[in-house]
């Protein structure tokens, strides 16, 4: 029944394990924080180890889910390309091989013969993850995978992941930065309509375990399919004193435009996925972003969870246009199947018009009314 959900959750747990391992094992950690210097300058593979970690996670999810659902195989995409150039100028296609030994041999090639690192990663890639979550047995929805596709952000908030601060304290429940904002994001959407259907957010660094540098992960999921809305989370209440979460780089003009609604209740946090999670958890009533700095792989999974909780995510510039034209129901939700016309590379999949993530429709309307009143200022 919930076979797709279970398979994606298991893949997200394996992804979280790999993300943790890269910070925990010296052989990998030293590569993760490697600086560009001297003779190593040309060895792209070392400088790009963080990208390799991302690529590997993406390939593992693709491989594990593709094996169970072959019809999805060609429709699982993510942020990263799996082609790597090693120190000898050879292009290596990073992929999960049939056996652990073969994967280790391939990784050794990418990692310039760093055998210990390659073997650690290969073991994590080929481990079997068994989910023990009785709640999943009650999920009785069958999603017809023939018309679905998947967006993956293997690690969102990479900067915080590399920086690796595990000691940042939350402000009113929200972590402004640090490892807590590094997340694995997986979203399933309908290839024809572009609507999000199933989302997973995995927090690899949810809780530190002893000894130090070891972490416990936590996952959240949501399904919005036909008339079915299910989630591991409960729909949060509207806060009595509304609060918004923003990027620390958000334009001052937008911050000022939001002040009539939120007063001093503007919170700042790293990671687009993390800010969406804050809304799903009820730590903020909205995440407003004025720029096109997020991508389909950032928003698809969290969007499905928000829909499952009765909320959603709109395209800010389109929603403002509709609002100003008096067309207020429904406001245009983000979709996931169409690239931006004329754009190249990653920009093809940008959420170009910015976004508003919300749980309560009335709160979205309050945001739109506030921004419409200040529309020419940001």
Contact residues for Ca ion, defined by CB under 5 A: 79, 153, 155-156, 298
Cβ-based nearer residue to ligand 2IP, 100 or 293 = 293
Q: Which residue is nearest to ligand 2IP (CB)?
A: 247
Candidate list 13, 18, 25, 54, residue with the active-site label:
54
Residue 156: active-site member: yes
Residue 298: active-site member: yes
Q: Which 180-239 residues touch ligand 2IP, going by CB under 6 A?
A: none
Q: Which of 270, 322, 351, 352 binds ligand 2IP (CB under 6 A)?
A: 270
Cβ atoms 45, 110 nearer than 8 A: yes
Candidate list 40, 102, 158, 228, residue with the active-site label:
158
Q: DSSP H helical segments within the chain, as ranges? A: 3-24, 26-32, 44-47, 49-68, 100-110, 115-126, 158-163, 252-262, 272-280, 296-308, 316-324, 361-373
Q: Which 291-320 residues touch ligand 2IP, going by CB under 6 A?
A: 293-295, 298
Q: Which of 80, 108, 156, 203 binds ligand 2IP (CB under 6 A)?
A: 156
Candidate list 25, 80, 156, 333, residue with the active-site label:
156
Cβ-based nearer residue to ligand 2IP, 20 or 294 = 294
Cβ-based nearer residue to ligand 2IP, 13 or 298 = 298
At 207, give phi and psi (nearest 5°). Answer: -145, 135
Length of the chain: 378
To ligand 2IP, the closest distance from the beta carbon of 158 in angstroms equals 4
At 202, give phi and psi (nearest 5°). Answer: -110, 130
In the chain, what's the furthest Cα-to-Cα distance? 62
The torsion defined by the Cα of 271, 278, 346 and 78, in degrees rounded to 10, comes to 100
Residue 155: active-site member: yes
Cβ atoms 255, 246 nearer than 8 A: yes
Residue 158: active-site member: yes
In the list ligand 2IP, Ca ion, none, the entry touching 270 (Cβ below 5 to 8 angstroms by class) is ligand 2IP
Helix (H) or strand (E) holding 93: strand 91-93
Residue 264 is classified by DSSP as T
């Amino acid at each position: 029944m919930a076979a797709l959900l279970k398979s994606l959750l298991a893949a997200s747990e394996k992804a979280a394990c790999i993300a943790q391992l890269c910070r925990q094992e010296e052989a990998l950690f030293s590569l993760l924080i490697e600086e560009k210097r001297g003779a190593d300058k040309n060895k792209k593979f070392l400088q790009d180890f963080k990208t390799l970690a991302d690529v590997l996670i993406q390939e593992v999810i693709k491989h594990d889910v593709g094996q169970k659902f072959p019809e999805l195989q060609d429709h699982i995409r993510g942020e990263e390309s799996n082609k790597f150039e090693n120190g000898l100028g050879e292009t290596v296609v990073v992929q999960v091989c049939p056996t652990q030994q073969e994967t280790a041999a391939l990784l050794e090639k990418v990692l310039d013969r760093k055998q210990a690192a390659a073997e650690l990663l290969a073991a994590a890639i080929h481990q079997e993850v068994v989910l023990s979550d009785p709640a999943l047995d009650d999920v009785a929805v069958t999603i017809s995978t023939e018309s679905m596709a998947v967006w993956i952000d293997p690690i969102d908030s990479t900067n915080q992941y590399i920086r690796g601060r595990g000691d940042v304290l939350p402000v009113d429940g929200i972590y402004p930065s640090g490892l807590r904002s590094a997340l694995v994001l997986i979203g399933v959407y309908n290839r024809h309509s572009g609507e999000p259907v199933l989302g997973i957010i995995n927090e690899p660094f949810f809780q530190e375990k002893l000894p130090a540098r070891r972490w416990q992960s936590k996952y959240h999921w949501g399904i919005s399919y036909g008339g079915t809305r299910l989630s591991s989370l409960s729909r949060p209440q509207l806060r009595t004193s509304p609060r918004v979460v923003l990027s620390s780089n958000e334009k001052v003009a937008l911050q000022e435009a939001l002040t009539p609604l939120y007063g001093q209740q503007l919170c700042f946090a790293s990671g687009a996925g993390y800010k969406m999670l804050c809304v799903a958890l009820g730590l903020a009533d909205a995440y407003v972003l004025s720029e096109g700095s997020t991508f389909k792989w950032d928003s698809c999974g969290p969007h499905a969870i928000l829909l499952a909780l009765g909320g959603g995510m709109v395209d800010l510039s389109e929603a403002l246009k509709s609002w100003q034209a008096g067309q207020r129901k429904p406001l245009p939700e983000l979709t996931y199947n169409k690239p931006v016309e004329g754009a190249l590379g990653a920009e093809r999949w940008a959420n170009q018009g910015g976004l508003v993530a919300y749980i309560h429709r009335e709160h979205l309307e309050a945001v739109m009314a506030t921004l419409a009143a200040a529309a020419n200022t940001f």
